[in-house]
Structure 1
Amino acid sequence: MFSDKPRSLPDWIERGYDILSTEITEGDHDEGIPRSLARDELISHEDFPDSPDDADYAIDQLLNSGWLYEVAGNLRVTIPEE
């Protein structure tokens, strides 16, 4: 059965989204941020596991689930319609 509800992600990946979306939307990043900076932001944040593999996995999941998208090598936030 098809559902139009957004697919939920594990809590730790959703925390990663919160961290990255704040960095992208509140920082001076009109064109998004490179994946390497996104990974560094996640690893250095106290509310996220400090493993590069976890950061890469979280970014991949956020991209695959449509929470983030990538343009010209930069990650941007997908703004859900209200």
Structure 2
Amino acid sequence: MAGITDPRPPLPEWIRECYDLLCSHADPPDNGKAAVQVIEYDDATDVLLSDSELALEQRDVEYALTRLLERGYFYEVEGELRVTSPEEQC
């Protein structure tokens, strides 16, 4: 999400790969409970840990999710990670 005017350094490629993977596993908007893509936090952790291409350890997963939340790629509501701008990112 870092744009040309964003003073923050871009996320590392491996964290952007985590984001793309999580978006591909997120539930689509249902116009009821959530109008955005949603993935449970625990499911997101499981998805990232089980991906053989990323080959992440628990600490890596926690770091990636923290960075994605801090940078605004997701926001958390009651244990769910919600995509902030699905039309732009996923």
Q: TM-score range by the shorter chain?
A: 0.7 to 0.9
Q: Distance in 2 between matches of 1:56 and 1:78?
A: 19
Normalized against structure 2, the TM-score is what? 0.71
- Equivalenced residues, count: 78
Runs of 4+ in structure 1 over 3 Å off: 3-7
Structure 1, unmatched stretches of 5+, are: none
- Structure 2 residue corresponding to 1:65, chosen from 39, 48, 71: 71
1:15 counterpart residue number: 17
Structure 2, unmatched stretches of 5+, are: none
For the aligned residues, what is the CA RMSD?
2.6
Specify whether residues 81 and 38 from structure 1 end up closer, same or farther in structure 2 by C-alpha distance, changes over 3 A only: closer
Amino acid at match of 1:57: Y
Q: Distance in 2 between matches of 1:41 and 1:80?
A: 19
1:24 counterpart residue number: 26
